Amino acid sequence: MSSFNKGLNAGLKTTWTLSKVIFPITLIVTILQFTPVLTWVINFVEPLMGLLGLSGEAAIPLVLGNALNLYAGIAGILSLELTVKEVFILAVMLSFSHNLFIETGVALRVGVKLWVILAVRFGLAIISALIIRFVWQGGGEIAKYGFFSEQTHNPSGWGEIVLLGFEKASLGILQLAIIVIPLMIIVQYLRDLKYLEKMSNALAPFTKVIGVQPNTSMTLVAGLVIGLAYGAGIMIQAVEEDGVSKKDATLAFIFLVACHAVVEDTLIFVPLGIPILPLLIIRVVTAFVLTIIVAHLWKRADLKAHKGVTQL
């Protein structure tokens, strides 16, 4: 089977798998907007969301994204009427903190401590939201989602409400399929042509910049290209076979928490109608700065501990 056919099949399977999450969530959230349930949840969390520059209903995609994945979070956003600034804040927060159960499980399997991953992910999400809230003064207009954005009238009756939910859910899946299927084809070509391995070799010299050993490069490549969840098998195998230390594994995961699946996790935000280049820049810069700082502090702590032992 050719690389194209493999990638196409993988893309269709991925789209089908994601649709089973996106469709019901979008449908349910859309319907809940017209019931007292959603209003109660919004009122309960609105004070906390207000601190982050978000409306109360923005808690819905945050919960969905962290409990499930980015696609579920995006499905929640597509169901709501938010400003461009709110959508951008949510996108940045979710890019740092999402799919907690699976991706945290990967981190634990590699040997990274639970509190480190949770502190970094939630810390980056909250700090980034606060910075964007106070620094960016624009984005007050209502966001127009995706390639098929259009005005809809207020539904009257449960029939029109359910129909609106089906419409939003279907469009959400279609827009994501337009991105996911070509992406999976490209990833398949990268695998078959051994470009992932070549990227690993090319990345090795840059590992010194973030304070880890060259044998961590395959772990970084897998996370950067495929992501923490999709690249879990490659990452775990690389750590076990390449003899990556717990320190390097922790630093690599800190880097990847801020910046993983750089192509996919950036492009899937295109349907939300937000500027994705600033989103990518924020993730990359944050990953380098945070990892370099942690590596420096870790090195200083090791030196102090070594001096203490020597003096004894």
Percent of the chain at pLDDT exceeding 70? 90
DSSP 71-136: HHHHHHHHTS--BHHHHHHHHHHHHHS--HHHHHHHHHHHT--HHHHHHHHHHHHHHHHHHHHHH-
pLDDT-derived band of residue 235, with 50, 70 and 90 as boundaries? low
The enclosing H or E element of 68 equals none
Mean per-residue pLDDT, 91-96: 93
> Quick check: 228 pLDDT over 80?
no
> Quick check: 208 pLDDT over 60?
yes
Give every CB contact of residue 243 below 8 A, 6+ residues apart in sequence.
215
pLDDT of 51: 92
Distances 90 to 49, 61, 200, 244, 272 between C-alpha atoms, Å? 11, 8, 31, 34, 11
Spatial CA neighbour of 22 closest among 147, 236, 180:
180
Q: What is the mean pLDDT of the chain?
A: 82
Do the beta carbons of residue 85 and residue 138 sit within 8 Å?
yes
Mean per-residue pLDDT, 251-278: 84
Spatial CA neighbour of 21 closest among 74, 96, 77:
74
The Cα–Cα gap between 58 and 76 comes to 9
The Cα–Cα gap between 274 and 149 comes to 13
Mean per-residue pLDDT, 101-114: 79
H-assigned helices in 111-245: 114-135, 158-192, 195-203, 217-225, 232-241
pLDDT of 83: 92
pLDDT of 249: 84
pLDDT-derived band of residue 102, with 50, 70 and 90 as boundaries? confident
**Backbone torsion region of residue 273, taken as left when φ is above 0, otherwise alpha when ψ lies between -120 and 50, otherwise beta:** left
Instruction: For the chain, count helices (H), then strands (E).
Output: 14, 0
> Quick check: 258 pLDDT over 80?
yes
Of residues 193 and 187, which shows the higher confidence score? 193
User: Tokens representing 138?
Assistant: 């624009």
pLDDT-derived band of residue 197, with 50, 70 and 90 as boundaries? confident
Specify the 3-state DSSP secondary structure of 1. coil
pLDDT tens readout for residues 5-18: 988 887 788 678 76
> Quick check: 151 pLDDT over 60?
no
pLDDT of 93: 94
